[in-house]
Amino acid sequence: MTQTPEQSRRTPRPWVATLFVGAALAVPLSLTAQVALAEEEPLELQEQITDPVGALSGSEDELTSAIQELRDDTGLQLFVVFVDEFDRPSGSDWSDNTYNLNGFGGDDVLLSVAVEQRAYGLTGSDLVSAGSLNEVASNYVEPALGDDDWTGAVLGATEGLAEVLPDGVNTEVDSGVGTDDRGDVGVPPSHQGSGSGFGNAFPWFFAVPVVAIAGSRVISAMGNKSARQSRDRAGQLPAEPSQISQVPTQELQRQAASALVGLDNALRSAEEELSFAEAQFGQQRTEQFRTVLTDARARSQEAFKIRQLLDDSNREAEPVERNMLSQIIELCSSAQASLDAHASEFAEMRSLQDTVPQFLEDLSGRAQEVTDRLPVARQQVEGLAARYPAAALTTVRGHYTQAERLLDSARGFVDAGRESVSGNDRPSAVAAARAAEESLGQAVRLLDAIGSADNDLANAKEVLAKAIASLTSDIQDAQRLAPRDSVIQPVVERARQAIVKGQSADTAGDPLAALADLDATEHDLDTLLDPLRDAESQRTKVREDFSARVTRVGARLRSIDETIATRRGAVNSGARTRISEALRLFDEAQRLASDNPSEAANLLTRAEQLGEQALSEAQQDVDRWDGPASGGTRRGGGIDPLSVILGGILAGSGNRHSGGWGGSWGGGGGGFGGGGGFGGGGFGGGGGFGGGGGGGSTSVGGRF
C-alpha cells in the first residue's frame, strides 16, 4: 500500500539531538572557530513540507504529489524546509544539522532554503556521494532558486534526484577522486591554530560524553546471494527477530553503517595497541590477544562482505535487506563482545601507573627521533610533487601535514602527562602517555608511506609500459582470432581506451590507477579469448600475469588501507567496506593461486578494482571533512585536536581513565578497541567528528 507523506514521515529521534548537544558541550571554546558544529539547535520538522514563510503557498498539493512519485519510483524520500534565514551562514551546515537532528538516513534527502538569506543546502545520507548531490543542486535546484521560483526548485529536486539516482541509494558507488585546489600533497601552506596548544585543558579529551549505539542481536541463517535470489522469498526467509521487527529499515541501515565503522575503528585501534604490546612484552605473552583479534577481524570481514553484496546488487526486496542488515549488526556486536571480554586482562598487562614517568621520558625521546625525519620527508614530498602530477599522489596527499601535527600533539600529550605526574594524577598521566604513543605511531606510518611512495610510483611507471605492451598483444590476438565477434570487439575498444589512459598517465596522471584499469581490461579480454587459445599457453599466461601483478596489487591495497587507517576519523562506511572486501579477496586469490589460477586472477582483479573505489570514496570523505586540511598555519605547537580526531586517536576515548585493549587507557575496565565514539556512535568507536563516520550524512549547498 502506498504511504502518504504524513504516514511515511520519520519521527525525529531525540537521542540524535542529545548526541549533537553532548558533542558540542565537549568542545572547548578555543575550538569553536575550527570545528564545524551547530551553534544553535537545528529545526525539528513536523511535516514533509515545512514552509513557515509561505514561499510554497498554493503549491502544496502539486509538490506533495511530486514527492510521493519520487518515493514510489526510486525509494527516495524528499523533505523540504523553507525559512527566512539560517542560524548558521552555511546552508549545507544548517541542512546537515537539521537532517541529523530529525534522525534522517538511508534514502532520506533534505532540501533546505533560506529565502531572505538566499542560501540553500541539499543533504542525503552517507550512502549518497557529494558528486550526485552537487549534480542535482547545480542542474536542477539552483537555477530555479536564482529566479525566485521556489516551487520550481522543489520540483527540480524531485526531477534531479529521479534522474541522478533512479535506483535510490543502495546501488551508488562514488567514482571520482576529490581534487585539491591547492595541489597540496602534504606540505601545509597555512593553517590557523590556537597558539600553544591545550596545556592544562588536556583532561577535556578524556571527559567527552559517549553515546554508544547498541545493535540489535539477531539470529540469521542467510546463504549466499545467488541462493537467496532463487528462493521463494515469501516462504523461506528467516523470521525477523521480534526485537527488531518494529525498527524502520532506514534505522537498520543507520545502525549497520554505524556498527561497521565502530567495529573497524575498534579493530584498527586494537591492532595498534597490540603492536605496541608485542614490542614491549614479546609475542609469547601477547599470543592469546592476537588470536582474539584475528577472530574478531574475520567476523568484521564477513560483515563487510554482506555490506558489499548489498551495494553490488540491484535493490533487494525489503525483507531480504532487513535480514542482511541485521546479520551485519549481529556480526559486529559479537566481534566487539569478543574484544571486550579480554579488555581487563589486556589492560592489566599494559598497566603503566607505576612506570609512567619513565615511559613519558621514553616517548619524548622517540618524538625527537621522529621529528628528525621531517626535513627528509619534506624534501621527499617536494620531490614527488615536482616529478608527478597531483593525481598520482592521492595516497600520500596530506601525509606530511598530518604527521607534523601528530608530532606536535604527541609532544603536547607528553607535557600534559608530566603535569599529571607532578599533580599525582597517575591515571591521567597514563591516558596522556597512551595518546602520545598512538600519535607517534601514526606519524611514523605516515612518514614511512611518504618514503615508499617514490619507489611505488617509479616501479609503476616501469610496469605500465609492460602492461600496455601485454594488452596490445591481447588486442592483436583478438583481431586475429575473433575480428568480428560482437562480444569481444567492444572489450577490444575498451582496451584501446585503457591503453590511451595508461600512456597519458605516464606523464600526467596516476600510473597506479591506470595500471588497475589496464589489469581489469586485460583480464576481461583474456577471459573472452580463453576458449580460442591453446589451453596450456593460456594457463601459462594466467599464471605469469598473476605473479607479475600480485606483489604490486598487494602493496597498493596496503597503501590504501593505511590511508584509511590514518584518516579514519573522517572516513565513512563505504570506503571501509570496499577496502575490507578488497583485502579479503586478495588473500583468497593468493590461497587459490596454485590450484585454480583462473579464479585467483578473477579475485585479484576484483580486489584491485575495489581498492581503487575505496581510495576514491575515502578521499571524497576526507575532502568533505572540516578538518586540518581546510586551512591555516598552526602557531606554537602543542596538542592539535583536529589531527588527533582525524587520525581516530580519540575514537572510543570517552572517559579513558580506565584500561582497555585498543580502547580505554590506564588501569582496569574499559573496552578493547574503544567504547562509544567521539562525536558518533557505534561499537567501539563510532563515527568521525564533524562529518566522518558511518551512518552520517553528505551535504552540499551555497548561495543563489
* Residue pair 509/500 in contact by the 8 Å Cβ criterion: no
Helix (H) or strand (E) holding 652, with range, is: none
Residue 66 is placed in which grid cell? 511530486
Residue 16 is placed in which grid cell? 540524535
Mean pLDDT for the stretch of residues 393-420: 89
Alpha-carbon distance of 327 to 75, in angstroms, equals: 22
Beta bridge pairs of residue 78: 109
Beta bridge pairs of residue 194: none
For residue 468, the enclosing domain spans 452-529
pLDDT band at 365 (very low <50, low <70, confident <90, very high): very high
Residue 133 is placed in which grid cell? 548531490
Mean pLDDT for the stretch of residues 644-652: 67
Q: Note the pLDDT of residue 35.
A: 33
Q: What angle do CA 463, 468, 471 make, to 5 degrees?
A: 120
Question: Exposure of 354 by Cβ count < 10 A (0-12 exposed, 13-18 middle, 19+ buried)?
Answer: exposed
Domain presence at residue 29: no
Domain presence at residue 305: yes
Q: Note the pLDDT of residue 264.
A: 92
Alpha-carbon distance of 523 to 63, in angstroms, equals: 49
Neighbours of 172 (CB within 10 A): 18
pLDDT band at 141 (very low <50, low <70, confident <90, very high): very high
Mean pLDDT for the stretch of residues 330-345: 85
Range list of β-strands (E), 43-190: 49-50, 77-83, 108-114, 119-125
Residues 468 and 525 in one domain: yes
Give helix 597-624 / helix 573-592 axis angle, nearest 10°. 160
Residues 81 and 138 in one domain: yes
Of 587, 607, 623, at which residue does a domain stop?
623
Residue 259 is placed in which grid cell? 556498527
Of 355, 379, 399, at which residue does a domain stop?
355
Q: Note the pLDDT of residue 643.
A: 74
Of 166, 195, 223, at which residue does a domain stop?
166
Residues 88 and 141 in one domain: yes
Q: Note the pLDDT of residue 442.
A: 92
Residue with C-alpha cell 573497524? 264
Q: Note the pLDDT of residue 204.
A: 38
Higher confidence at residue 5 or residue 364?
Answer: 364
Query: Smallest Cα–Cα separation from 409: which of 438, 431, 388?
Result: 438
CATH number where 143 lies: 3.10.310.50
Residues 522 and 591 in one domain: no
pLDDT tens sequence across 36-80: 333 335 677 878 999 999 999 999 999 999 999 998 888 899 999
23 — phi, psi (to 5°)? -65, -40
* Distances in whole angstroms, Cα of residue 358 to Cα of each of 362, 414, 441: 6, 11, 18
Domain presence at residue 564: yes
Q: Note the pLDDT of residue 669.
A: 32
Q: Note the pLDDT of residue 533.
A: 78
Alpha-carbon distance of 399 to 539, in angstroms, equals: 41
* Residue pair 405/522 in contact by the 8 Å Cβ criterion: no
pLDDT tens sequence across 658-701: 334 444 333 333 334 443 332 233 323 333 333 333 346 788 88
Alpha-carbon distance of 345 to 351, in angstroms, equals: 10
Residues 91 and 143 in one domain: yes
Give the whole-number percent of the chain exceeding pLDDT 90.
26
Domain presence at residue 572: yes
Domain presence at residue 507: yes
Residues 132 and 61 in one domain: yes
Residues 616 and 542 in one domain: yes
Domain presence at residue 320: yes
* Residue pair 36/690 in contact by the 8 Å Cβ criterion: yes
Top-ranked range on mean pLDDT: pick from 253-257, 574-578, 650-654, 693-697: 574-578
pLDDT band at 459 (very low <50, low <70, confident <90, very high): confident
Domain presence at residue 87: yes
pLDDT tens sequence across 549-603: 898 899 889 989 988 988 888 898 999 999 999 999 999 999 999 889 889 999 9
Instruction: Give the sheet arrangement for strand 77-83, strand by strand.
Output: 49-50, 77-83, 108-114, 119-125, 697-703
Residues 543 and 524 in one domain: no
* Residue pair 218/244 in contact by the 8 Å Cβ criterion: yes
pLDDT band at 169 (very low <50, low <70, confident <90, very high): low
Q: Note the pLDDT of residue 298.
A: 93
* Residue pair 95/699 in contact by the 8 Å Cβ criterion: yes
pLDDT tens sequence across 426-451: 888 888 898 899 899 999 999 998 98
pLDDT band at 243 (very low <50, low <70, confident <90, very high): low
Radius of gyration of the chain (CA): 26
Residue with C-alpha cell 571501509? 576
Residues 330 and 253 in one domain: yes
* Residue pair 333/259 in contact by the 8 Å Cβ criterion: yes
Residue with C-alpha cell 577481524? 297
pLDDT band at 313 (very low <50, low <70, confident <90, very high): low
User: What is the DSSP code string of 544-562?
Assistant: HHHHHHHHHHHHHHHHHHH
* Distances in whole angstroms, Cα of residue 370 to Cα of each of 35, 55, 364: 28, 59, 10
Alpha-carbon distance of 130 to 97, in angstroms, equals: 16
**pLDDT of residue 223 exceeding 60:** no
Domain presence at residue 566: yes
Overall size of the chain counted in residues: 704
The total number of structural domains that make up the chain: 4
Residues 551 and 519 in one domain: no
User: In 3-state terms, what secondary structure has residue 126?
Assistant: coil
Alpha-carbon distance of 603 to 610, in angstroms, equals: 10
Residues 58 and 161 in one domain: yes
Residues 89 and 131 in one domain: yes
* Residue pair 681/332 in contact by the 8 Å Cβ criterion: no
Higher confidence at residue 495 or residue 106?
Answer: 495
